[in-house]
Amino acid sequence: MLEMTTLEPSALLDNARHLLKTVYGYDNFRPLQEDIILSILDSRDTLVLMPTGGGKSVCFQIPALLKQGVCLVVSPLIALMRDQVEALKRNGIGAAAYNSSFSQSELRDVIRQCQSGEIKLLYVSPEKLLSVVPFLKEQLTISFIAIDEAHCISSWGHDFRPEYTQLHTIREVLPGIPVIALTATADKTTRRDICEQLKMKDPQIFISSFDRPNLSLTVRSGLSLKEKVSEIDRFLTARPNEPGIIYCLSRKNTEDMAAKLKAIGYPAACYHAGLESSTRNKVQDDFLNDRLQIVCATVAFGMGIDKSNVRWVIHSNLPKNIESYYQEIGRAGRDSYKADTVLYYSYGDVVMQTQFANDSSQKELNLAKLHRMQQFAEANICRRKILLTYFGEAVIQNCGNCDVCKNPRPMIDGTRLAQMALSAVSRMNEEAGGNMLINVLRGSSNQELIQKGYQNIKTYGVGRDVPYADWQQYMLQFLHLGILEVAYDQGSVLKITPLGKEVLFGKHPLQLSELVPISFEKKSTKKTKSTASSDVSGTDTPEEKLFQALRGLRLKLAQQDGIPPYMIFSDASLRSMAEHLPTNDEDMLAISGVGEKKMELYGNDFLEAIQSFITQRTGAPKKVQKGDTYKITLDLYTQGMEIEAIAVQREMSPTTIWSHIAYLAEQGEAIDLRKYVPRADEQRIRDAASAIGNTTALKPIFDHLNGEVEYHKIRLTLSLIKMEI
Ligand code: ADP
Ligand code: ZN
């Protein structure tokens, strides 16, 4: 094989771009991807910081394809490794995961495939790497080492893994082999730590923006549980079948939330550390494979899964800090298609999280971080600005995709409201908590209140015109603006701050943001739950209908192949198909995310679905039309050309042409399929199909016959069977 790295950078980039299009189906690199690829091709040690969904994989996979030898990829989770290998194969890239349970012959096989260049990426767990490298290096040329989730090496990071700390020894075992480390989370300390521990030599460091513009950000405060659930109901109604996660503070909360959603007809399950591991695995697996729409989980959920089409994330409670929040919402929209996030928080959450922080070992730090989280939630400026500023990026423009940008909240003069509250706190000798304060202001006859005699103070009932929930929201603002504070060490009673005293005595006016109920944008008016649906709807635009049909097809194909649906095509690719309606191979290949291998594996199924959707809609008879890809194949076929020759002429794979032939025969064109399938093979295929009980999926039949009968024969026989029905 040609040693690509001897080429000029511009030629290298041409090669890289070519692979991006043919293998992954993408037209353009994202910012920094090209520079990173060049750095690796230049054999430099390289550190990459990019947010989740930013596109890190391409950065090391393309150089792995271009460089001579095999690239070792270190990744912490076996399940993730398997997914990545499967996804690579679906793109036509040879990859394998090294497994300690390999038999001698399996190992030899993998080694041989690495030597021949069939396998370009070999995944290894950090535990295995050190023991296996001395052996591998005898047998193979190692191009470079990619270390995924590199922050795991640092005890400063949030996901420290002791196995990672040994990784530096590969530098001695494999001197001169470049290392590329990739991570989605690394502050300055962790960053330095990664470089030092991996003994990187003069590393090139690439830090991409941590912005995730496709994620909408919404914060809602002061809702009762009942209101929250009904709002979530409305939110879900507008997103039929779209997968998402609801994060809750406690195990109990996840169970309650899942039960409530199930009661109103949504497919939801809970996930937390207290469940049997088999139950947890099932929930995770069902979610990954689009069999389960909603998971109500504690924050542990989501770490080990690489599901790119999570369309929304809801936080039912306030997270403990901005890092966690950003990581958790980051699990939505990894395919870069738009996704929504909603954060609910309440006075109760603040109290609870503060107690957790107080009881933690790094109390001061955790309290400070919680405070920043609270400021974010309370803020009246673009939320994305706050987040990105927190992560050290300078942002000038408002994002236009957060609730503050969409519904700027007007300010009101809140001096009088504040004075009512402050005066009541003062008259209760700063001995009452937030709920008692609101009860007093609203003139409640709560038993505890009466016992304490608070009905006799002057401010009793002065705020009865303001609803309880509104008082709660104002209270959050009071805390946030620093006129009141909670004395957590004294049973969470409220104290007046020096600033609060100034406001109370009229020396300082107080601006509050007006409380405006924000209702979720309705994507549809239809009430479609998985159980019921009949009425007319706004989701039923033709485009949406086709998208849903393509999703259904994707699910079916995924089940046949035993892989998660997103591995076939991303939601973004399906949306683009529904919009652009490709009806031939060329147009299909122009869809972002459709590479050559995917085209070969699945292109026709999707083209057929789109074609039949178009004919149904236009009412045109279902026949092969001029200019259509099938028509072109048919014309060449009728001219007497062989299948291989048609494939060459059309610059398509023979597999594609075979599937055209099958389709044409099914449509009633005069094609004798038996010409291509010997009787004996046809019988074997028929037997296999009935043994498996499946007459649509190719792969199970192919496997059942130990790969002895070619795919095209199976495909044609299945058409024969279909035509008999
Ligand atoms: P990360 O590992 O950084 O979380 P991935 O490598 O999984 O992200 O990439 C996220 C998504 O973006 C994937 O669906 C990937 O195929 C897609 N992607 C990567 N690079 C590009 C690109 N240049 N153009 C379009 N999509 C891309
Ligand atoms: Zn904004």
Of 310, 297, 291, which Cα lies nearest the Cα of 239? 310
DSSP state letter for 169: G
Q: What is the pLDDT of residues 304-342, one digit of tens each?
A: 667 889 999 999 999 998 888 998 999 999 888 899 999
Domain boundary among 387, 406, 425: 406
**Ranges 295-304, 394-403, 539-548, 706-715: which has the least confidence:** 295-304
Separation CA 8–CA 28 (nearest Å): 20
- Residues near 646 by beta carbon (within 8 Å), at least 6 away in sequence: 633, 636, 637, 657
Average pLDDT over residues 123-152: 91
pLDDT at 139: 92
Strands (E), 95-171: 95-97, 121-124, 142-147
Instruction: Say yes or no to pLDDT of 258 above 50.
Output: yes
Instruction: Give the model's pLDDT for residue 622.
Output: 44
d(C-alpha 38, C-alpha 44), whole Å: 9
Does any domain span residue 348?
A: yes
Cα 501 off chain centre by: 47
Residues 220 and 195 in one domain: no
In which band, very low, low, confident or very high, does the pLDDT at 656 lie, cut at 50, 70 and 90? Answer: confident
For residue 496, the cross-strand partners are 484
Q: What number does the ligand 1 atom closest to the CA of 56 have?
A: 3
Query: Where residue 720 sits, what CATH number does that domain have?
Result: 1.10.150.80
Check if the beta carbon of residue 476 is closer than 8 Å to that of residue 464: no
What is the rounded average pLDDT of the residues 256-265?
96
User: For a pocket test of ligand 1, which of 29, 30, 90, 573 has the largest count of ligand atoms closer than 8 A to its C-beta?
Assistant: 30
Percent of the chain with pLDDT over 70: 93
Helix (H) or strand (E) holding 295: strand 294-297
Ligand 1: centre distance to CA 508 (Å): 51
Comparing 542 with 340, the larger pLDDT belongs to 340
**Residue 623 placed within a domain:** yes
pLDDT at 539: 57
For residue 520, what pLDDT is reported?
A: 53
Mean pLDDT value across residues 83-111: 90
pLDDT, position 186: 62
Answer positive or negative: Cα dihedral of 103, 108, 111, 112.
negative
What is the distance in A from the centroid of ligand 2 to the CA of 406? 7
**CB 334 near ligand 1, within 6 Å:** yes
- Calculate mean pLDDT across residues 250-278: 94
Instruction: For residues 119 and 245, state if they share a domain.
Output: no
Both 32 and 168 in one domain: the answer is yes
Provide mean pLDDT across the span 120-144.
92
Shared-domain flag, residues 583 and 680: yes
**8 Å CB contact between 211 and 329:** no
User: Between residues 204 and 367, which one has the greater pLDDT?
Assistant: 204
Calculate mean pLDDT across residues 150-172: 81
| Average pLDDT value for residue range 339-364 | 90
Q: How confident is the model at residue 276 (pLDDT cuts 50, 70, 90)?
A: very high
| Average pLDDT, integer, range 639-644 | 88
Can you tell me which atom of ligand 1 is nearest the CA of 50? 3
Closest ligand (CA of 216): 2
Whether the Cβ atoms of residue 199 and residue 159 lie closer than 8 Å to each other: no
Q: Both 240 and 178 in a single domain?
A: no
Asked if the model's pLDDT at residue 97 lies above 80, the reply is yes
Domain check: are 282 and 429 in the same one?
no
Decide if 533 is inside a domain. Answer: no
pLDDT exceeds 50 at position 536: no
| 674-699 tens-digit pLDDT | 889 998 999 999 999 888 877 677 77
Does residue 514 belong to any structural domain of this protein?
no
Residues 263 and 317: their CA atoms lie apart, in Å, by: 21
User: Is residue 462 situated within a structural domain?
Assistant: yes
For residues 599 and 467, membership in a common domain is answered with no
Are residue 318 and residue 461 in the same domain, yes or no? no
Q: Is the pLDDT of residue 282 over 90?
A: yes
Residues 221 and 473 sit within 8 Å (Cβ to Cβ): yes
Can you read off the two tokens belonging to residue 634? 């048919």
Report how far ligand 2's centroid is from the alpha carbon of 612 (Å): 41
Helix, strand, coil % in the chain, rounded to nearest 5: 50, 10, 40
Q: Which ligand is nearest to the CA of 402?
A: 2
Last residue of a domain, one of 174, 207, 240: 207
- Residue pair 127/165 in contact by the 8 Å Cβ criterion: no
Residue ranges of alpha helices (H) inside 590-710 are 596-598, 604-618, 629-638, 643-650, 654-666, 679-692, 698-704
Same domain, 381 and 433: no
Do the domain assignments include residue 524? no
Task: Say which CATH number the domain at 499 has.
Answer: 1.10.10.10
DSSP letters spanning 486-511: EEGGGTSEEEE-HHHHHHHTTSS--E
Of 371, 391, 406, which residue sits at a domain end? 406
Are 472 and 435 contacting, i.e. CB atoms less than 8 angstroms apart?
Answer: no
- Residue from 490, 473, 495 nearest 348 by CA: 473
- Please give the average per-residue pLDDT across 107-134, as a whole number: 92
Q: What is the pLDDT of residue 525?
A: 39
Question: Atom 2 of ligand 1 has which residue's CA nearest to it?
Answer: 56
Q: Is residue 522 part of a domain?
A: no
| CA pair distance 618, 625, nearest whole angstrom | 13
- Confirm whether 423 is domain-assigned: yes
Residues 500 and 401 in one domain: no
- Distances in Å between the Cα of 375 and the Cα atoms of 236, 322, 368, 480 are 28, 10, 11, 7
CATH for 379: 3.40.50.300
pLDDT at 552: 93
Residue 402 DSSP label: B
Question: Would you say residue 19 has pLDDT above 80?
Answer: yes
Number of domains in the chain: 4
CA of 161 to the centre of ligand 1 (A): 25
Q: What is the pLDDT of residue 363?
A: 85
Mean pLDDT taken over the chain? 87
Same domain as 238, residue 123? no
**Domain containing residue 376:** 215-406
Query: Hey, is 486 helix, strand or coil?
Result: strand
Same domain assignment for residues 183 and 62: yes
* Residue closest by Cα to atom 12 of ligand 1: 55
- pTM for this one? 0.69
pLDDT of residue 519: 52
CA nearest neighbour of 245 among 332, 318, 326 = 332
Question: Are the C-beta atoms of 53 and 334 separated by less than 8 Å?
Answer: yes
